[in-house]
Amino acid sequence: MSGPAAYPARASLQARTALQARAALFLLPLLILSWNTTDSAEAQQSAATNNCVSCHAGLDDEDMSLPVAEWQRSAHLPADIYCQDCHGGNAATMVEDEAHDVEMDFVGLPDPYVVHELCGECHQAQMTNYVPSPHGLEGDFWPNCVDCHSNHEIVQPQASLISIPDNCEDCHEQAIMDDYIALTDRGLEPIVEFRQAAEEIRSAGVPVDLILTQATLARDAYVERASHVFVLEKMVAVVDSLEQVYPSIRKEVETARTEVDTRRRFGWMFIGLFLVAAGVIWLYRRSLPGA
Ligand code: HEC
Ligand code: HEC
Ligand code: HEC
Ligand code: HEC
Ligand code: HEC
């Protein structure tokens, strides 16, 4: 029941032209958004009545019930990604055979060799970089997406946390891992800093749209060209080119901070002037006859 024959949608995905794939890459955020909105009514309904969740949560066999608890802690639950989005099947019935109906595209356990295509339906940028990487075709798809990200407890990943040392150490010397983590830090940490700075500055009332747009562009460039490439040399080139852009974003942040300081100083000046004026008025009133 698993295997390429069970993946008609995925076979056609592979057949897409490069152009379509590129277009889809840029449209991905939109696709995910529209996917969410078109399905959200259905999803909200199924949040209460999703029978995969209801039945599996109560199964005695831990292998069968644990996925529910793990998925509930994942980034997929808040994004309305349910069991059937990865396993197929019919979530609208409480009858096991109907729920597991292969006619409803139930695949059971996804085949490890096509897991990337399953995840790639929604995470196309990652799949596009992963397939030609040393871990993809060259590595016979080992490790695959779930070897690194786990299958149910999928959370926002961080290079220094992700399956290192569990998985990476099987195949890599610590030196490669250190280089890899240093590189992702060099590429991604400034973006986190810019976003934090922008939040602080925004709370002081100074506009930060430009900073946030630039940070997002940098993040997108990293994801499209460095993330899941897994060739240090190529990653270095991308991170180096990002570092050419960071000083100008940093300057933008400095300018905005100066603006915050100026506003604060004007604020104090205004309060000072107000107090002086109030004092003058008070003295004047006292000097009036009969006061
Ligand atoms: C009425 C209860 C029930 C419902 C509803 C149900 N399942 Fe299951 N599911 C089971 C049981 C019981 C097993 C274990 C079957 C076995 O060991 O043969 C199982 C096994 C599985 C497996 C493991 C298959 C394998 O080959 O090891 C997956 C994956 C799965 N279910 C996904 C789903 C999804 C997705 C849905 C909703 C579309 C769903 N289930 C709905 C009871 C249910
Ligand atoms: C993001 C995709 C994804 C989602 C969402 C997801 N699963 Fe899975 N699940 C997988 C993959 C991939 C595997 C196979 C992993 C492997 O081969 O080790 C798996 C394995 C399983 C297994 C077999 C576990 C075992 O140890 O044999 C069960 C049962 C299961 N899933 C049920 C569920 C249920 C129930 C839900 C919803 C609460 C769910 N899954 C949601 C991807 C997903
Ligand atoms: C060798 C381990 C590994 C494999 C295989 C892997 N990832 Fe990742 N993934 C990571 C690491 C590490 C990060 C965080 C750092 C980064 O982005 O470079 C990440 C980040 C992500 C992110 C967050 C956005 C981003 O790109 O930073 C998504 C989504 C993601 N991976 C999905 C996938 C999918 C889908 C696959 C399979 C096509 C996959 N990953 C395969 C290790 C892996
Ligand atoms: C039906 C669409 C869909 C499928 C299939 C899917 N995901 Fe997701 N995934 C999402 C959405 C939507 C989010 C939340 C928005 C985001 O962060 O991209 C998400 C979030 C994530 C994140 C967290 C990203 C972050 O930056 O916080 C990772 C990692 C991830 N998914 C990996 C996977 C892996 C691995 C698979 C396959 C086992 C998979 N996804 C299957 C739609 C999907
Ligand atoms: C099953 C074995 C295997 C696992 C597990 C594995 N890799 Fe790899 N990886 C390879 C192979 C093979 C290559 C290509 C040869 C080489 O550079 O070592 C490679 C290459 C790399 C490279 C490029 C190295 C360079 O010199 O350019 C990075 C970075 C990398 N892997 C990171 C990771 C991370 C991070 C993990 C864990 C999350 C991981 N790998 C898990 C097999 C694996």
Separation CA 83–CA 90 (nearest Å): 10
Q: Is 76 in the pocket of ligand 3 (CB under 6 A)?
A: no
Closest-lying ligand 1 atom to the alpha carbon of residue 107: 29
Only one residue has tokens 């926002």, namely 156
Testing ligand 4's pocket by substitution, the residue of 2, 115, 154 carrying the most ligand atoms inside 8 A of its CB is 154
- Please tell me the residue having the least CA distance from ligand 3 atom 29: 123
Q: Do residues 159 and 181 touch, judged by C-beta distance below 8 A?
A: yes
pLDDT of residue 48: 59
Which residues surround ligand 4 with Cβ inside 6 Å?
32, 75-76, 79, 81, 85-86, 115, 118-119, 121-123, 145-146, 149, 151, 154, 156-157
* DSSP for residue 222: H
Q: Is 162 in the pocket of ligand 3 (CB under 6 A)?
A: yes
Q: What is the mean pLDDT of residues 5-26?
A: 36
For 271, the token pair is: 């309060």
Q: What is the mean pLDDT of residues 225-236?
A: 96
Of 182 and 23, more confident: 182
Summarize pLDDT for 114-147 with one digit per residue, the tens: 999 999 999 999 999 999 999 999 999 999 999 9
> What share of the chain in percent tops pLDDT 90?
74
Whether residue 222 is predicted with pLDDT greater than 50 in this model: the reply is: yes
First to last CA, the chain: 97
Separation CA 276–CA 282 (nearest Å): 10
Q: Is 227 in the pocket of ligand 3 (CB under 6 A)?
A: yes
Sequence ranges of the domains in the chain: 4-156, 174-287
Q: Which residues contact 87 (CB under 8 A, 6 or more apart)?
A: 52, 106, 107, 108, 110
Q: Is 91 in the pocket of ligand 2 (CB under 6 A)?
A: no
Whether CATH 2.60.40 fits 174-287: no
